[in-house]
Structure formats: structure tokens, C-alpha cells
Amino acid sequence: MSENITLVGAGTTGKITAIEGDARFLSRASSIGLIVGSSVQVLANERNRPVLLYSRDTMIAVNRTEAEQIFMDTDTSCLPSNKEEHQ
């Protein structure tokens, strides 16, 4: 199920399914590694604070307005196993 990343809790993992916005935002998102199909983990999602994401071995802070334009599939059965990365 695809949902806005501002609606999921910390610790949620999934894949980015859509990124909306103007060309400037789409270019910026792509340049920091947030692209459709990327695996992503929400590290922190507190109200009135930026959303902290982990993707491609990088921690990324996204302001809430921009985060509302990013959607992710939280069905983790579609993700590759990351057990080796965390050992």
C-alpha cells in the first residue's frame, strides 16, 4: 500500500513509489538519492519537525512540505533482505 511518508512511523521501511512536485524539487530529490524504486527507512517522523530518512547509505532530512510529496510502499515483502548490512 502506497502512502505519504509523513503518515508512517519511525522504523518503517519500504520503497519510494512516487515523488510529486515541480521540476526543481524533483531534480533536488533525485540529486540526494530519493528516486522512485529506492529502498527507504523512516528514522524519525515527529510532528512539526523534518522527516529523517535513510536511503542508499545516507541519512537525509526532508522538510515536512517536501515530505508530503513523497510516497512509499510500506509492504516490506517486496524489499531485499538487509540482514547482512546490519551485522
Query: Residue 57 above 80 pLDDT?
Result: yes
Q: With 0-12 CB in 10 A as exposed, 13-18 as middle and 19+ as buried, what is 34? A: buried
Q: Catalogue all structural domains in the chain, each as residue range(s) with its CATH number.
A: 2-75 (2.30.30.90)
Query: Residue 77 above 70 pLDDT?
Result: no
CA angle centred on 68, ends 63 and 73, rounded to 5°? 115
Tell which residue, 69, 78, 55, has the closest CA to residue 26: 69
Q: Distance (Å, rounded) from C-alpha 76 to C-alpha 84?
A: 16
Task: Kindly report the pTM of this predicted structure.
Answer: 0.81
Q: Write down the mean pLDDT value for the chain.
A: 88
